[in-house]
Structure 1
Amino acid sequence: MQRETVEIEKAASLLKLLGDKTRLTMVKILDSFDCCVCEFVEMFKTSQPAISQHLRKLKDAGIVRETRRGQWIIYSLNKESDYYPFVQNLLGHLPNQDYKLQELEEQGLRISCE
């Protein structure tokens, strides 16, 4: 089985992007669940513009994609990206972050943006 390789420059760029703790955590969460900006705002106790900036950087790199559902934009991991195997391998070494969504649910803050 041949493994897809990522050029060093692109790998360095992706690792720099994912070197931010917030972005890395977002990507780990998006590996399991789709989320909207408002959920990340609550999770990270950060402003909506800051969260949107993180998501824009991830989207520009092709790691994350967005889907519009009515007035809501839902973010998910871009599993069609050429870099997804690289990102997925990296995520496999990280602890599960599902508890962050469970905490939101317990606080009644897990938003169903439908």
Structure 2
Amino acid sequence: MKKSTVEIDKAANILKLLGDKTRLTMVSILDNHDCCVCEFVAMFKMSQPAISQHIRKLKDAGVVGETRKGQWIIYALNKDSEYYPMVQDLLDHLPSQDYKLKELEEQGLRISCD
């Protein structure tokens, strides 16, 4: 299987984007779980506009995609992105962040945006 390559400028931009701890954590969580902004607000204890700004940057870069469910927007890692293999390689070196979702569930804050 041929490994995909990303232009150095694009790779640098993605790595810069993921150099932010909050965005890197979001991407790690979105690798296995779809989430809405409200869950990230509770998880990171940040304002909705701040979380939306992080999501927008990830979305603009094509790393994250969105799906509408009624009034809710659900975010997921864009596995069709040309950057996905590179992002996935990076995530393989990080510890799972799933415990953050578990903590939300235990606090009754894991939201089912249906």
Shorter-chain TM-score tier: over 0.9
1:50 aligns with 2:50: yes
Gapped regions of structure 2 (runs ≥ 5): none
Q: Per the alignment, in what secondary structure is the counterpart of residue 3 of structure 2? A: coil
Aligned residues, how many? 114
Partner of 2:79: 79
Partner of 1:61: 61
Partner of 1:113: 113
Q: Deviations over 1:64-109 (max 9, x none)?
A: 0010000000000000111100110011000000000000000000
Partner of 2:37: 37
Q: Deviations over 1:19-41 (max 9, x none)?
A: 00000000000001000000000
Question: 2-side partners of 1:35 and 1:29: how far apart?
Answer: 8
Identity of aligned residues (%): 79
Q: Per the alignment, in what secondary structure is the counterpart of residue 79 of structure 2? A: coil
Deviation at 1:2, TM superposition (A): 1.4
The one-letter amino acid of 2:85's match is: P
Which segments of structure 1 move beyond 4 Å, counting only runs of 4 or more?
A: none
Question: 1-side partners of 2:94 and 2:65: how far apart?
Answer: 21
The one-letter amino acid of 1:31's match is: D
The one-letter amino acid of 1:13's match is: N
Question: 2-side partners of 1:38 and 1:59: how far apart?
Answer: 17
Q: Per the alignment, in what secondary structure is the counterpart of residue 35 of structure 1? A: coil
Q: Per the alignment, in what secondary structure is the counterpart of residue 110 of structure 1? A: coil
Partner of 1:23: 23
Partner of 1:12: 12
